[in-house]
Structure 1
Amino acid sequence: MIVILFAISSCAKESDDIRNILPTASFTIEETKLYSGQEISFIDYSSDQDGEIVGWEWDFGDDNVSEEQNPVHVYNAEGEYTVTLQVQDNDNGIDLLSKKIVVLPAVNNSSLRIKIMTFNVHRGESASGVFNLDAIADVIKAHDPDYVALQEVDLNTVRNGKIDMAKVLGEKTNMNYCFGRAIYYQEGEYGNAILSKNNIDSEDNFVLPSINEERAALRISSKLAGSQSFSFVSTHLDYGEDNNSNTARINAAKRINDEFAINEIPAIIAGDFNDTPASECIAVLKEKWNFADTNNNPTFPSTNPVKKIDYIAFYPASRWTVVDVKVINTSASDHNPLLLTVDFNKVN
């Protein structure tokens, strides 16, 4: 986990006109992780109560400067740098703000490594039935994934005290979040969620075929390293072992293929598929998707796993290279999460 920004100094200088209210320097960085050789976007959020900002002076801490309002800069070496922005208003008042940033070593130009987790969080309850979002957040933070697919997530239900679980987990893990409803439940909603270290550029929710309980798939579009876009999907397929339930999962798999595995657009789908590796549902998905855990390690129940029902799969095969995949043993839920480390292969 990389902590990128924190303010280390701020000072202001009064202009000759004592009636002038000084400006306030402020800025942020668009990218979540910073790498040498990567374009880094600095976004100005400075303000002036009684006028306007007319000048910007950036010092990037590596002997390079800029007078643009929102500059883009490339660091040629890893390390810690102090970035300073000085702004000037139309009455010659100035303010400056400095922040430290950490620039990581350059990544392979042909690929980008990310970590994906899927975690059925059992509406916030541990394996012993105790509601504890701190325990779930601790599991996520301990393994530092870039994207997390969550299932069995409550939004404002009575049983969980009318809280927004996706928001709480996002805040506890310092990740962006979104929620997709499967059903209305106890004055609130119940469904899937996604946590992301990177920006969530768009989101949509798809109803899937089901027989026992309405199910859905939540999809986001997100950019890796600020430029490479992909789709990430969190889903939870229908339960049951009778023929009608099996048919519902097969039809859900067909819709997933039709909606998300198209036009060679890079995508990862993750979730609780409620079916075993030898099932027809998984066979249908394998027509389009490559599954990360080829050893089919069991994920459920968490206290003594005997069934593989939680999966991560990717499309198309040429855009992804599996580095590592493992089941994480925990009692924070009745499912064990699955963690994938994968290289995203860029296209020139």
Structure 2
Amino acid sequence: MPRILTYNVHRCLGTDGRLSPARIADVIAAYEPDVVALQELDVGRVRTGGIDQAHAIAQALGMHVHFHASMRVLEEEYGNAILTHRPSRLVKAEALPGSPGKPRLEPRGALWASVNLGGAELQIINTHLGLRRHERLAQVNALLGPHWLGHHTCREPAILLGDFNATPRSRAYQRLTVHLWDAQALARLPKPRATFPSRLPMLRIDHVFVSRGIAVQRVEAVRTPLARVASDHLPLLVEFQVIRGKAHQSSMAHAHG
């Protein structure tokens, strides 16, 4: 059964102050995901020793990598990546809108890859949204619009995941759940799984949203001792099935009932 994992790696800087892409790779490898969405990666940045963190982690996992720099200064890059060992192609990687009148906010972006999972073509969009409410709403509207999820080639099944900096009470989250399902809601967990901060997780800001055609089997916030120290976020793992035909309609209706 396919597994997808989203993980804000905090430039591979652990809560113990250690920089280690290898440790991040070890946290991920223990769960053998098919697709990994990473946020906050440094590529060629002086502060993290000039390493290409996206490629270092992908290499350790034996995966290909699609990277998008949401921020670029000279040779230094910072952004998000999709990693997979399945056949895949990058469809799009672009900036998301910021807050008008606040040009100094950290730029945000998203990347979309088409991944072949056992004959099923899955559209995967990884993002890291802004810290301000209006900024997040503009970014969510862009992701739901004609250039991303609303694009004619973004056919279901699709998964939108990443660090949304938005709890389930936020307008950004609620706007997304009009169109997509939160994997945690579909998994019917006795208690939702928080991912931030990693040492004592209180907030649910890392999410996996799925379209019709995806049946969520299991959701887990990875709370191993290594995961609790490797980054300031915990990874969120989702195990799912791609459903063809009408079988998924009842499960989706049930989830929304």
39, 42, 45: which one aligns with 1:151:
39
In structure 2, distance between residues paired with 1:207 and 1:291:
24
In structure 2, distance between residues paired with 1:138 and 1:118:
14
| Alignment-mate amino acid for residue 284 of structure 1 | R
Contact persistence 2:183–2:238 (CA under 8 A)? yes
> Is residue 2:136 matched to residue 1:238?
no
User: Per-residue displacement from partner, 1:71-91 (whole Å, max 9, x unpaired)?
Assistant: xxxxxxxxxxxxxxxxxxxxx
Q: TM-score by structure 2 length?
A: 0.84
Match of 1:253 in 2: 140
| Alignment-mate amino acid for residue 155 of structure 1 | V
In structure 2, distance between residues paired with 1:185 and 1:191:
12
Gaps spanning 5+ residues in structure 2: where?
100-104, 186-190, 247-257
Match of 2:182 in 1: 291
Task: After TM superposition, give the deviation of residue 186 of structure 1 in Å.
Answer: 7.0
In structure 1, distance between residues paired with 2:29 and 2:165:
26
Q: What percent identity do the matched residue pairs reach?
A: 34
230, 240, 244: which one aligns with 1:332:
230
In structure 2, distance between residues paired with 1:132 and 1:202:
27
Q: 1:339 to 1:230 in 2, by over 3 A?
A: same
Match of 1:164 in 2: 52
In structure 2, distance between residues paired with 1:300 and 1:186:
32
Q: Name the one with the larger strand percent.
A: 1
125, 139, 151: which one aligns with 2:13:
125
In structure 1, distance between residues paired with 2:110 and 2:148:
10
Match of 2:111 in 1: 218
186, 201, 223: which one aligns with 2:89:
201
In structure 2, distance between residues paired with 1:222 and 1:311:
19
Contact persistence 2:120–2:242 (CA under 8 A)? no
In structure 2, distance between residues paired with 1:172 and 1:335:
20
Gaps spanning 5+ residues in structure 1: where?
1-112, 240-244
Match of 2:209 in 1: 313
Task: After TM superposition, give the deviation of residue 208 of structure 1 in Å.
Answer: 1.0
Match of 1:116 in 2: 4
User: Per-residue displacement from partner, 1:145-171 (whole Å, max 9, x unpaired)?
Assistant: 000000001111111122111111011
**Paired residues, number:** 228
Q: Secondary structure of the equivalent of 2:26?
A: helix
Task: After TM superposition, give the deviation of residue 261 of structure 1 in Å.
Answer: 2.8
Q: Secondary structure of the equivalent of 2:178?
A: coil
Task: After TM superposition, give the deviation of residue 347 of structure 1 in Å.
Answer: 4.2
Contact persistence 1:157–1:185 (CA under 8 A)? no
209, 214, 217: which one aligns with 1:323:
217
Match of 1:140 in 2: 28
| Alignment-mate amino acid for residue 299 of structure 1 | T
Q: 1:141 to 1:130 in 2, by over 3 A?
A: same
**Over aligned residues, Cα RMSD in angstroms?**
1.5
In structure 2, distance between residues paired with 1:285 and 1:206:
19
In structure 1, distance between residues paired with 2:210 and 2:48:
33
Task: After TM superposition, give the deviation of residue 185 of structure 1 in Å.
Answer: 4.1
User: Per-residue displacement from partner, 1:147-206 (whole Å, max 9, x unpaired)?
Assistant: 000000111111112211111101101111111010114731101011101022233212
User: Per-residue displacement from partner, 1:24-75 (whole Å, max 9, x unpaired)?
Assistant: xxxxxxxxxxxxxxxxxxxxxxxxxxxxxxxxxxxxxxxxxxxxxxxxxxxx
> Is residue 2:66 matched to residue 1:178?
yes
Q: Which has the larger radius of gyration?
A: 1
In structure 1, distance between residues paired with 2:141 and 2:8:
22
Contact persistence 2:66–2:90 (CA under 8 A)? no
- Structure with larger RCO (C-alpha < 8 A, sep 6+): 2
Q: Name the one with the larger helix percent.
A: 2
Q: 1:222 to 1:293 in 2, by over 3 A?
A: same
Contact persistence 1:166–1:193 (CA under 8 A)? yes
